[in-house]
Structure 1
Amino acid sequence: MKKLSLHTTRLELVPPCSDDVEAIRSACQDPEIQHWVPIPVPYRYEDALEYATVHTEQTWEAGTEFTWTIRSSSQLAGVVGLYRVANSSADLGFWMDPAFRGRGFLTEACREVLDFAFGPAPQGLGLARVGWNAYAGNIGSARIAQKLGFHFEGTARLGAALRGELRDDWAAGLLSTDDRNAQKWPILD
């Protein structure tokens, strides 16, 4: 698929490119991102360059992953994407630069990406399901998914690994037919 940008009232969602390398590298020095996101640690310039160029080009072209930088006033605020796209489903993933947290940007950006995921072709992917996973304890990510209308599906005990360490993994799902209103989650309520 050809790369495309999305827009919300306050944000631009633009596929990563070489101009984003230093901002991505800088954001990925955040201990919270390193604790919750499966990125290399230390996160080097070369890692950001490969992600923003080669990886982004290959996955957009193959249609297996669609990622966007979240931009507020032209500044990179975070990243959101649809991962493991196949069989009419995908997984939603995201992170936010610490300087931009707490403003509702991530929820706004994710809503736009979900509209794209569930929207009919050619303006969308026409998916039936979008999943969400986070290492157990990632309350910030869980609250975003809860607000977006994801239904909590459970905890896979030692169901995910981060840099060789097994961790419990929370899972939730959103169907194209769901109303997208905030849900009650036993881990949050």
Structure 2
Amino acid sequence: MRFPEDVPVLRDDRDTSTVTLRAHTADDIGPAYEACQDPEMQRWTTIPVPYERENAVHYLTEFVPAGWRDGNSWAWAIEYDGRYAGTIDLRPGDGGVGEVGFAVAPWARGHGVMTRALKLAVDHAFEQGWTRVIWRAYVGNWGSRRVAWKAGFRGLVTVPDGGVARGVRKDEWIATRSRDDAAEPAGHWWQVPTLEGDGLRLRALRSTDAKRVMEACNDERTQHWLAGMPSPYQFEDAEAFITGRLENLASGEGVSWAIADPETDDLLGNVSVFDLKNRIDGSVGEVGYWLHPEARGRGVMSAAVGLAIKHAFKPIDEGGLGRRRLMLFAAEGNTASAHVAVANGFTLTGTARAASPRRDGSYDNLLCFDLLATDRPQSAAATES
């Protein structure tokens, strides 16, 4: 193919904006160079670091044209609002399967530009006879993963040491989209709304909460009743817990909130609604929680669970989790946890014998509670933002 004459122009027109994929020009060198100074761009891509202007010149005037001529890489400039906004490329492979890669300038993020560009490129690949497109990103690149999810990529797997950047091996996410897959998200990517009521704030966990998480999870009572926690519970465990909540959101598995003091914003505990991908019944969920010892004895957990329940029963099209039924389990001797269940209207449905393991190898009976959306008063006070 000749460059730039044979580079197809792909366009996504909307009433308020247009995303165009076109051939790169010399005018893109400056904006591309500036975009590649972004620390996030350097962190998640394989571009040279430091990135010099000569790198941009070589990429746009030599590498990109050669890719089109040789047929091993089709790279487009992404244009949005009349400006260069990034680059996307398709790399054909054998058997009708190829890969896609992309990067977007900082100023264009948060406007859906990359998702629209990705859909344009993937549609073009299928028009050229491809049967499947592969997307890859280093683990932790949530922005890229969300773009791929919104564009219909699915079947995500994690490959340890699957990628390499500047000589360093990194874990890699891989997902694909086939020609028969809809260009729409598969499953849910939950959000964490801020919920307020009863003198509490439920918000997303932050990296700055790690110290308080570690303190809470090293508490003797917490360690006793939640025997699956590491012991001792290290700062690194707290960081991994917080990062893991992002994975639960992205995979559709669950939503977790930090219970925070509305005045100081200090973490008081955690409440989660999880098992939302239950293969037997996708309308159920389980409630779990733990509390920092400083917050005990004030009704904090009962109030926090009440806020989480209301959000869990809210319909999905209204921003909630759309649950029909919630479950809650408490070891038979854990009277404080059982009190939270009863205070929120859960019904004791039975006892699972010797079902709750302890660290010493013994087992406690497990109290089983449930709550139906039809059991819950719809007037429970809470605000959401």
1:65 to 69, 73, 76: 73
The answer as to 2:101 corresponding to 1:93 is yes
Aligned to 1:19: 27
1:137 to 117, 140, 162: 140
SS in 1 for 2:155: strand
2:89 to 68, 76, 81: 81
Residues in 2 aligned to 1:155 and 1:101: alpha-carbon distance in whole angstroms: 25
8 A contact 2:119–2:183 mirrored in 1? no
From the CA coordinates, give the structure whose radius of gyration is larger: 2
Task: Label 1:41 to 1:137 Cα distance change in 2 as closer, same or farther (>3 A).
Answer: same
Tell me the TM-score normalized by structure 2: 0.46
Matched letter for residue 137 of structure 2: A
8 A contact 1:14–1:68 mirrored in 2? yes
Aligned to 1:108: 116
The answer as to 2:37 corresponding to 1:29 is yes
Aligned to 2:130: 127
Aligned to 2:234: none
Tell me the TM-score normalized by structure 1: 0.92
Residues in 1 aligned to 2:66 and 2:187: alpha-carbon distance in whole angstroms: 38
SS in 1 for 2:152: coil
Bigger relative contact order, structure 1 or 2 (CA pairs below 8 A, ≥6 apart):
1
Aligned to 1:122: none
> Shift of residue 181 of structure 1?
2.2
Matched letter for residue 44 of structure 2: W
Residues in 2 aligned to 1:21 and 1:71: alpha-carbon distance in whole angstroms: 13
The answer as to 2:156 corresponding to 1:148 is no
> Shift of residue 185 of structure 1?
7.5
- For structure 1, which segment, 17-26 or 86-95, has the greater mean C-alpha deviation from structure 2 after superposition? 86-95
Task: Label 1:43 to 1:86 Cα distance change in 2 as closer, same or farther (>3 A).
Answer: farther
Matched letter for residue 180 of structure 2: T
Task: Label 1:15 to 1:86 Cα distance change in 2 as closer, same or farther (>3 A).
Answer: farther
Consecutive unaligned residues of structure 2, counting only runs of 5 or more, are 190-246, 253-385
Aligned to 2:8: 4
Q: Paired residues, what number?
A: 184
Matched letter for residue 51 of structure 1: Y
Deviations 1:78-103 (CA, angstroms, capped at 9, x unpaired)? 11111254431211111111111101
The answer as to 2:55 corresponding to 1:55 is no
Residues in 2 aligned to 1:74 and 1:181: alpha-carbon distance in whole angstroms: 27
> Shift of residue 154 of structure 1?
0.7
8 A contact 1:65–1:85 mirrored in 2? no
Matched letter for residue 131 of structure 1: I
Residues in 1 aligned to 2:183 and 2:20: alpha-carbon distance in whole angstroms: 22
Consecutive unaligned residues of structure 1, counting only runs of 5 or more, are 120-124
8 A contact 1:81–1:94 mirrored in 2? yes
Alignment RMSD, CA only? Answer: 1.5
